[in-house]
Amino acid sequence: MKSDSEIARAATLLPIAEIATRAGLDPASIEPYGWFKGKFTPPATLPGAPRGKLILVTGISPTPPGEGKTTTTIGLGDALNLLGHKAIVCLREPSMGPVFGKKGGATGGGFAQVVPMEEINLHFTGDFAAIAQAHNLLAALIDNHIHQGNVLGIDTRRITWRRVLDINDRALRETVVGLGGPANGYAREDRFDIVVASELMAILCLAADLQDLKRRIGQVVVGSTRSGQLVRAADLKAHGALAALLKEAIKPNLVQTLGGSPAFIHGGPFANIAHGCSSVIATRAALSLADYAITEAGFGADLGAEKFIDIKCRTAGLKPAAAVIVATVRALKYHGGLDLPDLSQENPGAIERGLVNLERHARNLADTFGLSAIVALNHFAGDRPGEVELIRERMGQIGVPVIEARHWAEGGAGAQALAREVVRVAAASRPLTFAYPDEASLAEKIESVARRIYHASGASYGPGVAKQLKGFAEAGYGHLPVCIAKTPYSFSTDAERRGAPVDHVLHIREVRLSAGAGFVVAISGDVMTMPGLPAHPASEHIDIDELGNITGIS
């Protein structure tokens, strides 16, 4: 079998103007970035009100062998188009942190990819660079304001705005800036986050348009004074300049799948440290243009789907018609206790034990959010018919259909059975509900997610966290949803606990106010907002030949 890079490179791509026509966009409205990428401005190009159904693709708790959510999202979009429906895929942009780190690329795989693959995985259209520049401009303006006399009275001990970089670099988690004497400002401790954890990334993905983006940026809280008064980006007169830097980045990107389906790729917040969804602007555009908008939320349903619904859908008034939970036979064996070398062995007992993870995700979607689910069993060559039938029978007992999908090897043709089931289930969607009401306190919202989604016995708080939550509420932010940052690999905060653990405690060690984005981040366990590189990063396998062909991204 050819590598993902070889498959993508062998494909004959359509000009971006033709993809725009397939999407229902005026080709003249596309701003080309080369032959096969483009940006568009939805308000100037979209006809009428939203008409399509929103399909959410999520997954079980991630495992080392992988599940293939992005691949499934792409394959499902291609399959719907092959069946005569009009579908547009909505994905997040890859971060170069994972591309060069542990995960690798994020453009699908096999014959279910978005292309041009290497360009999307690397610099793409420059959106992440623009977000980093805008974010770090605000950091520079804060330090410059203090250096120039500090009229606002910012307390240097209470600056909450960190700097960002789109590369995993653990050495920058804790830093000191301003060294070298008075000409360089005041020395103080500082920290770096990865770009995908930036509040500006969240704002770009939740903003309705450019003016809403600028308004939200103005509301960003960067720190406080000695008396505790909050200082915002608008107080520094920074929001106009930051919005100007993001003028192009807020426009959705248009590319294509290997099957020739239109794909909107826009924004890229991580689901373990942010809200993990592509932009509201791109999603609304797809719903206005297509019968089905197929979008993906990051990591497992306990993180990505919960935040997709409780934050993105709540904020934007969106409603999924159905959810697809991606699983594999190998991943279920892993959750059943087998280690990587043993996953190819036939072991019904391990599948039985691992199915508790899949069942919990499906029940959470139905019981908490009222969302009907379909399991997409992403096929691998070593899967046995008896293993697949065991999964189908077990999930059938709780009324959840299981469809084996072969899109990795066959493209959209291998996902047509899944597409037919999605159409059937989406036709009878139920009202959407949330994990907590707006009027609940911030602590009650955290507790609700802990108990209803993670099946914890409750939540606990590190020193000062309860006081901070109370302070956020007193400042007028108690109505905001919560965005819990935790490990994606377990329902608990311990990444090693597989399956469906119960009666663990969700410990919140830190909370951050994202006033512009419109949520409160609650950081639990040992999750980091600036990841580090593994012992053997993916960058070791990435190369470029004398013809300029990039290899090793997968």
Q: Is 71 a catalytic residue?
A: yes
The answer to whether 299 is a known catalytic residue is yes
486 is catalytic: no
Q: Which of 112, 233, 271, 350 is catalytic?
A: 271
Alpha helices by DSSP H, listed for 227-272, are: 239-245
Is position 161 annotated as part of the catalytic site? no
Catalytic position from the list 36, 369, 380, 434: 380
* Identified catalytic residue from 40, 124, 128, 408: 408
Q: Which residues in 76-95 are b (16+ Cβ under 10 Å) and which e? A: bbbbbbbeebbbbbbbbbbb
Which of 37, 69, 394, 445 is flagged as catalytic? 69
- Give me the residues paired with residue 299 across strands: none
Q: Annotated catalytic, 519?
A: no
Q: What contacts 83, CB < 8 A, 6 or more positions away?
A: 416, 419, 420, 423
**Mapping DSSP to helix (H, G, I), strand (E, B) and coil, where does residue 263 land?**
strand
CA gap 210, 203 in Å, rounded: 11
Q: Which amino acid is at 436?
A: Y
Which residues neighbour 417 within 8 Å (Cβ) at sequence distance 6 or greater? 403, 404, 405
**Distance, C-alpha 63 to centroid of its chain:** 17
Strands 188-190 and 175-177 turn out to be antiparallel
Q: Which of 22, 102, 103, 191 is catalytic?
A: 103
Annotated catalytic residue: which of 299, 308, 369, 434?
A: 299
247 given a catalytic annotation? no
* Contacts (Cβ under 8 Å, ≥6 apart) of 412: 75, 77, 78, 79, 81, 82, 112, 257, 259, 261
Where would I find the H helices in 187-324?
Answer: 199-206, 210-218, 239-245, 280-289, 306-307, 314-316
| Extended strands (E) in 335-467 | 373-378, 402-405, 458-461
Question: In whole angstroms, what is the distance from residue 265 CA to residue 107 CA?
Answer: 10
Which is nearest to 7 in space by CA: 127, 150, 109, 151?
Answer: 109
Please give the Cα distance from 402 to 417 (Å, whole number): 10
**Alpha-carbon distance 345 to 495, whole Å?**
24
327 Rama class: left (phi>0) / alpha (psi -120 to 50) / beta: beta
Find out whether 355 and 60 touch, Cβ atoms under 8 Å.
no
Quote the CA–CA distance of 38 and 28 in Å, as a whole number. Answer: 11
Name, in order, each residue with C-beta under 8 angstroms of 367's C-beta and a sequence gap of 6 or more: 452
Q: Which of 37, 53, 86, 92 is catalytic?
A: 92
Residues linked to residue 32 through DSSP beta bridges, in sequence order: 38
Catalytically active residues, by annotation? 69, 71, 92, 103, 271, 299, 380, 408
